[in-house]
A = this chain, B = another copy of it.
Amino acid sequence: MSTIAKALDLLDLFSDSQPQMGLSDAQRLTGRDKATVHRHLSALEEAGYLEQDAATRAYRLGPALTRLAGMRARTVPEVEMVRTVIDRLSRAAGELVHVSRLHGFDLVDVYHAEQHDHPVRVSFDAYGLPPLFATSSGKAYLAFSPGGVLDLALADPRTWLPGAKAPDKDALLAELKSIARRGYARNRDALRLGVSSVAIPVFDAAARASATCSIAYPTSRGGSAQETRLARLLMAHGRDITEAMGGTVPPDVQSIWTPSRERAVS
């Protein structure tokens, strides 16, 4: 394992539940030598990826991340395209909105936007990315992909939650089918207790599902009315999101997302 990877791993130790830690904490979490961890932390701090509280000597994520993330949002075409529409959606929903792209069967974050209005908000954790079958995003993706993709996904053990038993294919097929009919996928308290979500697929230029967009909200704040509201909002933005990423929504999906009104132009 390269020194670089080891150092960058340290940044992944930080999470919403543990936003700062001392040298000893980091040492325990990694199992590496204290001196090593210390030099890595120092190097990261030197470069601004961490900063150290002057009083407690604890480390926390540093300002360089803000700077670079801003640059990425401004300059990476894909992000720049999606950003506007996601920010708008997030504002309308008042919840955390997340766009992820599929790399193999991993969901990697493209952009996310959050509203700080609500006292209770959903925070997503940085600890690895959740397995495909544990997320509404994953199901939304599968529901709008050709059948073969599901088989491939089932064959890969990393797509289910560790410890869980292999998903039942028939039950899954039924669920995916209903998602495809409904136009969106949902999860209630599936991945983390208290967190629900709705998700839709994002299509590429060849009209294949290649990414997803989801809204996460605290279950406490959401009855089925809330789910319906957010899902409607999400589907109403579906076309904009796909097109912002340079893709095309297949006509049949589009007709689910905007049922009655013919091709409303914003």
Contact = CB atoms under 8 A, between A and B. Distances in A.
Interface string A63-82: 11111111111111001110
- Residue among A9, A60, A126 with max Cβ neighbours from chain B (10 Å): A60
A84 interface: yes
A108 B48 contact: yes
Contacts of A108: 48, 63
Given A43-B2, A49-B8, A62 B66 contact: no
A40 B71 contact: no
Given A16-B75, A61-B76, A70 B205 contact: yes
Interface string A233-264: 00000001001101010000000000000000
A111 interface: yes
A228 interface: no
Contacts of A84: 51, 63
Contacts of A46: 5
Contact of A68 (B51, B53, B65): B65
A146 interface: no
B71 A69 contact: no
B63 A81 contact: yes
Contacts of A73: 66
Contacts of A72: 60-63, 65-66
A37 interface: no
A199 to B, nearest CB: 18
A123 B62 CA distance: 20
- Residue among A16, A66, A67, A248 with max Cβ neighbours from chain B (10 Å): A66
Contacts of A38: none
A49 B79 CA distance: 15
17 contacts: A3-B3, A14-B68, A19-B74, A20-B75, A20-B76, A61-B72, A61-B76, A63-B109, A63-B240, A66-B69, A66-B73, A66-B79, A66-B243, A67-B109, A68-B69, A68-B126, A71-B126
